[in-house]
């Protein structure tokens, strides 16, 4: 049986979306922050823990994020979690990245306008894939 690798996070963009092109494919990368509230065992109070994670998207979705996203934009990102490695001072540094297949920018000025899936902008809560079928519904 094949394992399931799916992640969904909400939070805010903490970097401007960066556009690049690799072999004619448009790529967008941005960093987001997601807060999690935890109970502090020693004090009994609540503490916030912030997770910072890089997100990567491609093609039409990338173009839409580049056009509409900016620092401070609230987003919901869904995709697969991937581990990457880089070398700094001859040491291996491992980090995680979300390869997004769904991004919703929560626009407070137009609350029912979404950027979803293949990068289409639609009114309402869902979107249609290229064949006209439901691709994703809000939770």
Other beta carbons within 10 Å of 99? 16
Give the pLDDT mean for 39-53.
Answer: 89
| C-alpha torsion 64→110→37→45, nearest 10 | 150
pLDDT digits (tens, 9 = 90+) for 63-112: 999 999 999 999 999 999 999 999 999 999 999 999 999 999 986 555 55
Domains detected in the chain: 7-128 (2.40.50.140)
Query: Residue 128's pLDDT band (boundaries 50, 70, 90)?
Result: very low
Query: Residue 1's pLDDT band (boundaries 50, 70, 90)?
Result: confident
Mean model confidence pLDDT for the chain = 82
Asked if pLDDT for residue 133 goes beyond 80, the answer is no
List, as one string, the DSSP characters of the chain: -PPP--EEEEEEE-S--EEEEETTEEEEEEEEEEEEEEE-TTTSSEEEEEEEEEEEEEHHHHHHHHHH--TT-EEEEEEEEEEEEEEETTEEEEEEEEEEEEEEEE-SSSTTEEEETTTEEEESSEEE-TTSSEEEE--
What's the predicted TM-score (pTM) here? 0.73
- Write down the pLDDT at residue 41: 85
């Amino acid at each position: 049986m094949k394992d399931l690798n799916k992640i969904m996070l909400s939070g805010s963009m903490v970097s401007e979306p960066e556009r690049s092109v690799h072999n004619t494919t448009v790529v967008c990368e941005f960093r987001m922050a997601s807060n999690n509230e935890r109970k502090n065992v020693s004090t009994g109070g609540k503490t916030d823990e912030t997770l910072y994670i890089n997100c990567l998207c491609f093609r039409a979705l990338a173009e839409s994020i580049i056009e509409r996203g900016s620092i401070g934009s609230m987003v919901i990102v869904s995709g697969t979690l991937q581990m990457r490695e880089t070398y700094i001072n001859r040491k291996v540094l491992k980090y995680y990245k979300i390869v997004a297949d769904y991004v919703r920018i929560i626009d407070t000025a137009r609350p029912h306008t979404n950027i979803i899936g293949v990068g289409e902008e639609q009114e309402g809560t869902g979107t249609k894939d290229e064949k006209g079928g439901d691709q994703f519904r809000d939770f």
